[in-house]
Structure 1
Amino acid sequence: MSRQKENILFDLDGTLTDPKEGITKCVEYALNKFDIHVDHIDQLIPYIGPPLHESFVELGGLSPENALLAVEYYRERFRAVGMFENSVIPGFPELLQYLQDEGYSLYVATSKPTVFAEQILKHFELDHYFKHIVGSNLDGTRSKKQEVIQFVLDENQISPEQAIMIGDREHDIIGAIGCGVESIGVLFGYGSEQELRSAGADHIAAGVEEIRNIISHIGNGDYSYGYTK
């Protein structure tokens, strides 16, 4: 049976994997270079998800120029150790296998640089599930989530009506809306339910199994399951 929405796009950080330890330690490392210190590393959780340069400006209070330096300091530690201070969200390998077996085409759309996303997914043996892994460029271009999603759609000749975007932060939802793509916000990442609803998520999933249920209902033409409007 053919489905209208047979292409599933996933965010990486906070959706497929929990990168808290690596990202917060790398942010701390970068901020320390500017003599900025935090009382507890959990204060840096808001850096998980949004484009890094944007976060160093908006959250760290750095100038755009210093934010560029901070990104380089961040990557210095991230390349060496940070990218693997990470873990797969429990249940996701099984979900990806199920969706692949059901004939869905799976993609990754992340603000993290593509080269790092590819290495992380390969490290956790998840890369083979995805037809295309797309992130930002190392020079800072294509860092907005809408740009990443649109690139996945364009490169794979997917119409917005044929896709679903799954993510844990408002940037995922706003990016999906900007591309005309239906969205599922997940609550096991780093965005609150209020954040996801306010951003306009079409569906909310409390856990991995609920993602499967929502996709199954959509595949059967039932768009009301998990609907937030």
Structure 2
Amino acid sequence: MKAILFDLDGTLIDSSEGITKSAQYALSHFGIDEPDRNSLFFFIGPPLINTFMEHYGFTKERALEAVEKYRERYNKIGIFECSLFPGVKECIEALKAAGYRIGLASSKPEKSCERILEHFGILDMFDEVVGATFDGRIDTKEEVLNEVMRRWSDIPRDEMCLIGDTMFDIEGANRVDVPSIAVSFGFGDVNEMVSAGAKAVIDDLRQLLDVLSKLFD
């Protein structure tokens, strides 16, 4: 059995509203005003602690405090300020009918991933949901994918494929020797993802089954 792994933010859901509003909330705690949510899309994808440190020069201790403030709003309100991209359900149904095992591999906390999938009524369509841990033990995309490999040790890595929308997805897949496919409708740069080694680019999730059949041919 071959396995398809989906990123969440920017791949299955448009989560920009909840993430950027929660980032604004956290930054305001430190006296930082970011009125333009569109300028905060860099919060989507990478681990939050890294984003606060790299973009705002926070120390690790300050970044951890910022993550807590972010989650203070996100876990109550922001988590459901999102929408499914077109074709998600149809895509997963087609993949399952074709015999693929379906997993989620996200840098978002695992419990948050499950809540979102359940909110949209698609949690039971996934054979496994793997996300970050609140203690930081699993955080990056590479660490998430390594946890997938641990849980799905019966599936060879070359018979898995990660579907994602940013360089963090493609590079994470590269580091664990798993092929990847990029989506063009998320938050990443398509040319960068192709240059990094994405095997294909799709503009609609309903194209995925045909692309996979060629990839695994």
TM-score range normalised by the length of the shorter chain: over 0.9
Report the equivalent of 2:167.
170
2:149 to 134, 149, 153: 153
C-alpha distance in structure 2 between counterparts of 1:176 and 1:111, whole Å = 13
Report the equivalent of 1:22.
18
Q: Which moved more, 1:163-172 or 1:194-203?
A: 194-203
Structure 1 residues 137-184: Cα deviation after superposition (integer angstroms, max 9, x where no partner)? 011221110111111112111221110011001111111111111110
Which amino acid is 2:92 matched to?
A: L
Which amino acid is 1:196 matched to?
A: M
C-alpha distance in structure 1 between counterparts of 2:14 and 2:45, whole Å = 11
Report the equivalent of 1:225.
none
Q: How many residues align?
A: 216
For residue 201 of structure 1, report the CA deviation from its aligned partner. Answer: 1.2
C-alpha distance in structure 2 between counterparts of 1:41 and 1:166, whole Å = 26
Which amino acid is 1:163 matched to?
A: M
Could you list the runs of 5+ residues in structure 2 that have no partner in the other structure? none
Report the equivalent of 1:109.
105
For residue 79 of structure 1, report the CA deviation from its aligned partner. Answer: 1.0
For residue 39 of structure 1, report the CA deviation from its aligned partner. Answer: 3.5
- 1:58 paired with 2:54, answer yes
C-alpha distance in structure 1 between counterparts of 2:56 and 2:100, whole Å = 40
1:21-170 mapped onto 2 (5 Å cutoff)? 21-157=17-153, 158-170=155-167
- 1:185 paired with 2:193, answer no
Please tell me whether the aligned partners of residues 107 and 140 of structure 2 are also in contact (alpha carbons under 8 angstroms): yes
Report the equivalent of 1:224.
none
C-alpha distance in structure 2 between counterparts of 1:151 and 1:141, whole Å = 11
For residue 211 of structure 1, report the CA deviation from its aligned partner. Answer: 2.0
Moved >3 Å (runs of 4+): none
Q: Which moved more, 1:178-187 or 1:191-200?
A: 191-200
For residue 195 of structure 1, report the CA deviation from its aligned partner. Answer: 2.2
C-alpha distance in structure 2 between counterparts of 1:48 and 1:143, whole Å = 14
C-alpha distance in structure 2 between counterparts of 1:206 and 1:70, whole Å = 34
TM-score (norm 2): 0.96
2:207 to 200, 204, 210: 210
Q: In angstroms, what is the RMSD of aligned CA positions?
A: 1.2
Structure 1 residues 43-64: Cα deviation after superposition (integer angstroms, max 9, x where no partner)? 1011101111101111232221
Local SS of the residue matching 1:190: coil
C-alpha distance in structure 1 between counterparts of 2:194 and 2:33, whole Å = 32
Report the equivalent of 2:197.
200
Q: Percent identity?
A: 41
